[in-house]
Structure 1
Amino acid sequence: MATSEDASWPAGGETGLPARDRRSGPYRTYLPDPLGYRPLVIDPSLSRRIAQVERAVRDLAGGSTGADLEGLSRFLLRSEAVASSFIEGIAPSSANVAVAELAQTEHVQRVGEQARLVARNITIVRRATEELVALDEVGVDDVVRLQSSLIPEERHHGIRLVQNWIGGSNRHPLDAQFVPPSPDHVDGLMADLVDYLNGSHHSPLVQAALVHAQFETIHPFTDGNGRVGRALIHTVLARRGLTRQAVLPISLVLSTLRDEYVQGLTWFRFEGPAGAEAAVTGTQRWIETFVEAAAAAVRQAAELVAAVGALRREWDERLARYRTQQGVREVPRAGSATARLLALLPEAPVVTARTVERVLGVSYPAANTAVQELEGAGILGSRQLERGTTGYLATEVLDLVDLTERRLAGTAFDTRTSPPNRPVPARREA
């Protein structure tokens, strides 16, 4: 039975602190029901909505444009990377981050430190999540390794041995908005959590919703709970085959809709028997909140993929006009370096001739001809990265990603009516 437990906080012995930070007194910790023993009741209308949204996710990830979403999705991890890097203010643009990612495999030194930090953390988030997805069975130790990967600078890796809390004073939990279970309960609750994560008792969206809410309720680490909890959403959806390797930006939507998110978690944290009305209603309301966030994420991702699809058709027309002017056939051969590079650009919108040579397995002259042809057609722009090294950027793709992220950061998901409420890429000057 989910309940609150009484606890007592001793007075702080540190000198020089204001009286409010040296207070002692009673407080209460929340002890949730294990997921494995919690009955779940979903009314027919919510069940239909879950099926509808899951079908939309599958259509998006499995359609002919699914590869575009898979390639572009890593750029939508930027908000996680910004948080992981403790960067404040405006986030670096997609173009700068993409150049920094290129610098991880090629010799490029002229890269901004913010962009380098974000690119590094995008790689960490992606690798860490992919490792969990690939496991036959996830264990608590694997979640701990995820935490240490996401916040390598944190000294206190591993399951917490102290009480933590959310909100209020940094010195005591007496004024906290929420106090998770005491350390004595964390090991057992985490074992139950991964046991549920490894099963398939419920649909993928429901499972992701419950795993995320339970993890944030347990709050098993002294730091990094938010980042790990959001990564677990991607982990569940990919392990269940709903999104494959693509990252659906549900966590970005939840981050934008902070009030609804906190209210949903509050509903989830019922007290009393698992079958009581408060438990059934509270859990269902949280699932509704999560499913609607997923629906918003699908809509925004679908708009991005559709916009990239339209751009690719425009590129085909530009290339045809350019090639006609050059006196060659309008459409390049299907297996040519130019045709293959054109298809690759949504996933790799910043390349060098060496990148194309390596990725496509073609000769350097063929790779160089391809990038120069696409530059001539107005599809790629060039930027000097190092002496003797030219980068080629599909800036229109990167602008679309930046616009999508700006939309995802506004509560109406429309840049015309709601400004971003967290760090986002600045608008690129025309």
Structure 2
Amino acid sequence: MAVVTTPELDALLSQAERAVAALDHGAGSADLAGIARFLLRSEAIASSRIEGIAPSARQIAFAELAEHEEIRTFGAQAKLVARNMTIVREATTRLAEAETISLEAIDRLHRALLADEPRHHGVRAVQNWIGGSDWHPLDADFVPPSPERVPALLEDLVHYLSGATHAPIVQAALAHAQFETIHPFTDGNGRVGRALIHTVLARRGLTVNAVLPVSLVLATFRERYIDGLTAYRHSAEEGSPDAHAARCRWLEVFATAVLQAAGQASLLRDEIADMRLRWEHRVEAHRAAIGRQRQLRSDSAVVHILADLPSTPVLTANTVMRIHSISENAAMRALNELRDAEILETRSTGTRARAFVAREILDLVTITERQLASTRFDTRASAPIREVPALPEPRT
């Protein structure tokens, strides 16, 4: 697929790539990786077809914790989302690490995303369409290729996905648009297509640590996203100026979304860095207040817990023992010290054990998700335009 870009688009693509690279390889990238799954939970929610209000980040964190120990304080919705988050993360990781991408691998990803809907599994053998009537495609917004053409088109796409013909962001953009144009499944095409964005960026080494919330930005600017895909599906003669212009229009939309996603992720990274400084000051103040003047050792349980807190915002003593290979007494001492320093709060687990919750992390995830649903990335200036979790309760 030939791509002829303009100087302006080249500059935008270069800017976007630098922003993502700086985000992924800079300080704080591990923190972004730790909480990225919460920001991308919309895919897990969609794949479960959960109705009603989406479960909170805290409920999902409790449900994830229950995969390793007995926890009861979460609902069925949170369990479904947590399970699907795990499935999507593992499937996408396998796809990113594979030497080459195959049709079978994409099919496995699709089955993982729609695990509870086997009737949609496998490449479609029927005609589908987007928009218009459920009974005929006469008024459809877009009619994908006929089913007999799909296997060959997918073979061509996986060959492109396995290579490196274009720069990473260009490849991610074109692969996503081509997949959505082929629309190879009867349902779940959007979810698989968005997962392929992360797969390409990870395979090309652009997002080794952080996960870019570009899916959420594209969802927020849905009209612009649809306009870009429509432009990509041009009818101009291949290689003509009109064909190149159409492709450039889509690349501009995608690169802009990548740049915006990187900017918002960078702000989130800075928020976490500021939070870490506050935690350090609270620990120091608490230790001084109880007469502990000696500085914390770098190998102490408190230091280890704080280092991993963005990725494990809900903990029990058993969790700390399992992750950091320390005794139960040492784990409880560290957790209680962080509670007394007002970094963790205790919550019931519905069992004899207590959970320790980093509410600031979970609240930050919720606020960030709400901001990403605003066309101004600021809910004070523009309200969220899609379903988002409720605002965190005020701290007392």
TM-score bracket relative to the smaller structure:
over 0.9
In the alignment, which residue of structure 2 is the partner of 1:349?
313
Give the total of aligned pairs.
393
Gaps of 5+ in 1: 1-37
Residue 386 of structure 1: how far off its partner (Å): 2.4
In the alignment, which residue of structure 1 is the partner of 2:173?
209
Range with bigger deviation, 192-201 or 82-91:
82-91
Residue 89 of structure 1: how far off its partner (Å): 3.9
Confirm whether residue 425 of structure 1 aligns to residue 389 of structure 2.
Answer: yes
In the alignment, which residue of structure 2 is the partner of 1:109?
72
Q: In the aligned structure 1, how far is the partner of 2:294 from the partner of 2:208?
A: 36
Residue 64 of structure 1: how far off its partner (Å): 1.6
Output the amino acid matched with 2:281.
E
Which aligned pairs between 1:246-285 and structure 2 lie closer than 5 A?
246-285=210-249
Q: In the aligned structure 1, how far is the partner of 2:105 from the partner of 2:33?
A: 24
Output the amino acid matched with 1:273.
E
Contact 1:89–1:423 under 8 Å retained in 2: no
In the alignment, which residue of structure 2 is the partner of 1:39?
2
- From 215, 229, 236, the equivalent of 2:193 is 229
Cα distance per residue 1:23-55 (max 9 Å; x no partner): xxxxxxxxxxxxxxx211011221122111111
Residue 220 of structure 1: how far off its partner (Å): 0.3
Q: In the aligned structure 1, how far is the partner of 2:74 from the partner of 2:55?
A: 11
Confirm whether residue 66 of structure 1 aligns to residue 46 of structure 2.
Answer: no
Contact 2:370–2:384 under 8 Å retained in 1: yes
Structure 2 residue matching 1:191: 3-state secondary structure: helix
Q: In the aligned structure 2, how far is the partner of 1:89 from the partner of 1:258?
A: 21
Which aligned pairs between 1:30-429 and structure 2 lie closer than 5 A?
38-154=1-117, 155-329=119-293, 331-429=295-393
Contact 1:81–1:118 under 8 Å retained in 2: yes
Residue 149 of structure 1: how far off its partner (Å): 0.5
After superposing on structure 2, the runs of 4+ consecutive aligned residues of structure 1 that deviate more than 4 Å are none
Cα distance per residue 1:141-194 (max 9 Å; x no partner): 110111001001221311111000000111111111100000111011100001
Residue 397 of structure 1: how far off its partner (Å): 0.8
Q: In the aligned structure 1, how far is the partner of 2:375 from the partner of 2:150?
A: 34
Distance 1:55 1:185, change over 3 A: same
Q: In the aligned structure 2, how far is the partner of 1:387 from the partner of 1:398?
A: 22
Output the amino acid matched with 2:4.
V
Q: In the aligned structure 1, how far is the partner of 2:12 from the partner of 2:391?
A: 35
Range with bigger deviation, 333-342 or 111-120:
111-120
Contact 1:319–1:330 under 8 Å retained in 2: no
Gaps of 5+ in 2: none
Computing the radius of gyration from Cα coordinates, the structure with the larger value is 1
Output the amino acid matched with 2:377.
F
Distance 1:161 1:181, change over 3 A: same
Residue 110 of structure 1: how far off its partner (Å): 2.6
Q: In the aligned structure 1, how far is the partner of 2:312 from the partner of 2:139?
A: 48
Cα distance per residue 1:227-267 (max 9 Å; x no partner): 10000000000000000143201011101111000000011
Output the amino acid matched with 2:130.
I
Contact 2:48–2:116 under 8 Å retained in 1: no
Contact 2:29–2:209 under 8 Å retained in 1: no
Output the amino acid matched with 2:15.
Q
Residue 330 of structure 1: how far off its partner (Å): 5.6
Q: In the aligned structure 2, how far is the partner of 1:110 from the partner of 1:73?
A: 23
In the alignment, which residue of structure 2 is the partner of 1:6?
none
Q: In the aligned structure 1, how far is the partner of 2:171 from the partner of 2:121?
A: 26
More helix by share: 2
Cα distance per residue 1:45-88 (max 9 Å; x no partner): 21122111111111111112111111111111111111112123
Range with bigger deviation, 69-78 or 107-116:
107-116
Output the amino acid matched with 1:231.
A
In the alignment, which residue of structure 2 is the partner of 1:34?
none
Structure 1 residue matching 2:281: 3-state secondary structure: helix
